[in-house]
């Protein structure tokens, strides 16, 4: 258990590092995919195989693929990863500062140490998630569906409209 978790964590960090450091965007996307998979694994470890599945299906199967397509459509094999060192350094400083700051907050928060409590079996089932999704949280569910619908329409409108404008 502990070993698998540690491995997944390491994989996640490694994928993240690849994703942010590789110059070729396509490669970076694969790094991202690695992280996403690792996180999915962590979700399973944390007791929610359903969410883990969703993560894999939507993120790895959908989003990553969409990004790859986008890269290919924009034929971006942009050689020039011409970010200046200054820019990287500045970003690194800010990010590091953020990490240190928040890390200290976490350290100072006095979180309960020790392993997770026992799983209450039926609370973590898919059935339970489905029930509360359509029960207590159905507004969230509905809102999400509307958001997705709008996103789809928006994506179509944005790409189509501008395209036509260019042609005319």
Partner 1 sequence: MSHANLAVATLLAPLIAFAVALIGFRKKHDIAAAIAILGGFVSLVGSIWLLLDPAPTAELVTAPWFQVGGFKLEFGALLDGRTLLMGAVVGLITFCILIYSLGYMKDDPGKGRFFAFLGLFEWSMLSFAYAPNLLQGFIFWELVGLASFLLIGFWYHKPSAVAAAKKAFIMTRIGDVGMFVGLILLFGDVHTLDILEIGSIFGAPGLPEGLSAGRVELLAGLLFLGVMGKSAQFPLHTWLPDAMEGPTPVSALLHSATMVAAGVFLFARFHELFMDAHGLMTLVLAIAVFTAILSSTMAMVANDMKKILAFSSISQLGFMIMGLAAGSLFAGLFHLMTHALFKALLFMTAGAYIHHYGTNDIVAIGRAGGRKMRVTTLGLFAGGFALAGVPIFAGFWSKEVILGALHHDGYMVFLVGAYIAAFMTAYYTFRMIFLVVLPNANSDAIVEEPAGAQHGDHGHAHHGPDKAPLPMRLPIGLLSIGAVIAGLPFFGDAVAGLLGRPEEAHHAEISEMILPVAIVLAGVALAWLDFGAKRAPQRGLVAWFPPLERTLKNRWYIDAFYRRTVIRLTNAFAGLMYGAETRGFDGAGDAIAHGTMKVGVGTAKSHTGRLPIFIGTAVAILAIVSLSVALF
Partner 2 sequence: MNLESFLLLALILFSLGLYAVMSRRNMIAILIGIELMLNAASLNFMAFNRFLPVEDPTVGQIFVLFIIGLAAAEVAIALSIILIVYRQRKRIDVDDITELKG
Taking CB under 8 A as the binding criterion, the range among 98-106, 123-131, 149-157, 158-166 that sits at the site for partner 1 is 98-106
Would you say 82 or 168 has its CB closer to partner 2?
82
Least distance in angstroms from the C-beta of 106 to partner 1: 9
Closest listed residue to residue 64, CA positions, set 38, 103, 39, 29: 29
The Cα 2–Cα 10 span in angstroms is 12
CA 15 to chain CA centroid, nearest Å: 12
The Cα 42–Cα 74 span in angstroms is 33
Least distance in angstroms from the C-beta of 84 to partner 2: 9
- By the rule CB under 8 A, 94 interacts with partner 1: yes
- Determine contact, residues 61/37, Cβ cutoff 8 Å: no
User: Which letter does DSSP use for residue 46 in this model?
Assistant: T
- By the rule CB under 8 A, 60 interacts with partner 2: no
- By the rule CB under 8 A, 134 interacts with partner 2: no
Q: Which two tokens stand for residue 112?
A: 């309960």
Closest listed residue to residue 42, CA positions, set 131, 137, 116: 116
Would you say 81 or 168 has its CB closer to partner 2?
81
Single residue of 97, 126, 134, 160 touching partner 1 by CB under 8 A: 97
User: Which letter does DSSP use for residue 118 in this model?
Assistant: P
- Determine contact, residues 56/40, Cβ cutoff 8 Å: yes
Least distance in angstroms from the C-beta of 75 to partner 1: 23
User: Which letter does DSSP use for residue 84 in this model?
Assistant: -
- By the rule CB under 8 A, 118 interacts with partner 2: no
Would you say 107 or 116 has its CB closer to partner 1?
107
Site for partner 1 in 102-131 (CB under 8 A): 102, 104-105, 107-108
User: Contact residues for partner 1 (CB under 8 A)?
Assistant: 87, 90-91, 94-95, 97-98, 100-102, 104-105, 107-108
């Amino acid at each position: 258990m502990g070993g698998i978790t540690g491995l997944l964590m390491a994989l996640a960090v490694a994928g993240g590092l690849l994703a942010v450091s590789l110059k070729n965007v396509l490669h970076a996307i694969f790094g991202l995919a690695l992280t996403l998979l690792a996180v999915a694994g962590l979700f399973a470890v944390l007791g929610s195989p359903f969410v883990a599945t969703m993560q894999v299906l939507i993120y790895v199967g959908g989003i990553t693929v969409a990004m790859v397509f986008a890269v290919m459509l924009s034929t971006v094999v942009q050689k020039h990863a011409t970010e200046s060192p200054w820019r990287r350094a500045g970003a690194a400083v800010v990010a590091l500062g953020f990490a240190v700051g928040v890390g200290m907050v976490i350290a100072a928060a006095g979180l309960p140490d020790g392993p997770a409590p026992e799983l209450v079996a039926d609370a973590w089932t898919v059935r339970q998630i489905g029930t509360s999704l359509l029960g207590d949280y159905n507004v969230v569910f509905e809102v999400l569906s509307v958001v997705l619908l709008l996103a789809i329409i928006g994506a179509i409108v944005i790409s189509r409209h501008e395209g036509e404008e260019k042609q005319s």
